[in-house]
Amino acid sequence: MFNRFFGLFSKDIGIDLGTANTLVYVRGKGILINEPSIVAINNKTGSVLAIGEEARRMVGRTPGYIVVSKPLVSGVVSDFEVTEQMLKYFIDKVHQESFSFFPRPRVVIGIPSGVTEVERRAVEDAAYNAGAREVYLMEEPMAAAIGARLPVQEAAANVIIDIGGGSTDIAVISMGGVVAARSLRIAGDKLNEDIVRYMREEKNILIGDATAESVKLRLGSAYPLADELRGEVRGRDLVTGLPREIILTSEEVRQAISRSIRAIILDLKSTIEETPPELIADLLNRSVYLSGGGSMLRGLDQLISHEIKLPVKIVDDPLTSVARGCGFVLEHLDQYRDVLVENPKEAYL
């Protein structure tokens, strides 16, 4: 009863709860929040100092007793209490201008397709504890496909690859359900780790994750470029311990991340092999779609198309496709109820 009353003054939201970034879609308004999934904690007091963009600015610049961490690893909750605090922060931020003293919104959250029942329950409980009135979960590849406006409810194959920060989800969707799917813990963060390892082993230079991310964005590619790129990279020389700058090429970065890219393509081929023959026939006349931040790696669509001999396209605005899909389902809940992971149990006040 109280939940329904407070729900009258709440804004229903869709959340792409990502390893790297969290995007929040507000019903009727679109995506209002896009902030890093990062939390800064004071270990002396146990209190949360900053969340989101403010916490990101603290990375690598804090004393030992302040820990800046990501409460989600590979798309799943690794720290329940911190995730709860982060969700509460985003819910309160959405309602800060609406004079709602106790917001109780309905929430649709995108989760990786390969998570366990325990991992799903952790997300659900964290959202309820953060103040949600009802929590709906949906698989991220389904959300991305809906966000890209693919005809997921038709009896035809829709293949989508959602490459995020912590996980890559591959799914063949038909009739509003997932026919075949794979989820692997290889995505943007793993590519950063590959670059850090390559620099250490091949160049004798130590760089951090932030520098590796910058290298990936500036020089990264999955397929040979017409004009290969070159750029400076600065780090600590492992021999002398002093700062050092080298010139790195896009060919070298491509070599560093090639194994991880190959693993994603092998899983895509395995997913297609598991698809019923009738749906595979549809793929000859349809494209495979890429979404998520990882899909923006130069030449990735060309490499995948070359490997599977099918057309590959990047969806419009791939960074927001999951959040847009969650929001679209939120606004058409009765029509898309079948695509949800499970029906919600209303939270008790």
Q: Is 325 annotated as a binding residue?
A: no
166 annotated as belonging to a binding site for a ligand? yes
Q: Are strands 76-77 and 106-111 parallel, antiparallel or unpaired?
A: unpaired
Least confident range of 10-19, 90-99, 324-333, 337-346:
337-346
**pLDDT beyond 70 at 266:** yes
Architecture of the 2-143+322-339 domain: 2-Layer Sandwich (3.30)
Task: Tell me if 167 is assigned to a ligand binding site.
Answer: yes
97: pLDDT strictly greater than 70:
no
Residue 337: its pLDDT value, please? Answer: 86
148 assigned ligand-binding residue? no
297-309, pLDDT tens digit by residue? 999 999 999 999 9
Phi, psi dihedrals of residue 70, rounded to the nearest 5°: -105, 120
CB contact at 8 A, 17 and 110: yes
Which CATH code fits 188-256?
A: 3.90.640.10
Check whether 259 has a pLDDT greater than 90.
yes
Q: What is the pLDDT of residue 5?
A: 47
Residue type, 318: P
Query: What backbone torsions phi and psi does residue 7 show, to the nearest 5 degrees?
Result: -65, -25
**Residue 4 predicted with pLDDT over 80:** no
Share of the chain above pLDDT 90, in %: 54
- Identical topology for domains 2-143+322-339 and 151-186+265-318: yes
Q: Which residues contact 35 (CB under 8 A, 6 or more apart)?
A: 21, 22, 51, 52, 53, 56, 90
Using the predicted structure, report yes or no on whether residue 345 has a pLDDT greater than 60.
no
From 40-49, 69-78, 132-141, the region with the lowest mean pLDDT: 69-78
Q: Is 42 annotated for ligand binding? A: no
Predicted confidence at residue 295, as pLDDT, reads: 94
Say how far apart CA 235 and CA 214 lie, in whole Å: 13
Which CATH topology does 151-186+265-318 take?
Answer: Nucleotidyltransferase; domain 5 (3.30.420)
- Residue boundaries of the structural domains of the chain: 2-143+322-339, 151-186+265-318, 188-256
- Is 130 annotated as contributing to ligand binding? no
DSSP 12: -
Range with the lowest mean pLDDT among 39-43, 87-91, 102-106, 153-157?
A: 102-106
* Tally of helices (H runs) and strands (E runs) in the chain: 11, 18
Beta strands 106-111; 134-139: pairing state:
parallel
**Residue 214 marked as a ligand binder:** yes
Where do we find the tokens 């700062």?
Answer: 243
| Residue 196 is labelled as binding a ligand | no
Q: Which of 51, 21, 120 is nearest to 80 (CA)?
A: 120
- pLDDT, residue 348, reads 41
11-20, 83-92, 181-190, 340-349: which has the minimum mean pLDDT? 340-349
281 carries a ligand binding annotation: no
Residues 104 and 85: their CA atoms lie apart, in Å, by: 15
DSSP summary character for residue 244: E
End-to-end Cα separation, the chain, in angstroms? 9
Known binding residue 215? Answer is yes
Question: What distance in Å separates the CA atoms of residue 156 and residue 176, rounded to the nearest whole number?
Answer: 10
pLDDT digits over 111-167, tens only? 888 788 888 898 899 899 989 999 999 999 999 999 999 999 888 899 999 999 889
- What is this structure's pTM? 0.86
Looking from the CA of 225 toward its CB, the CA atoms found within 13 Å total 16
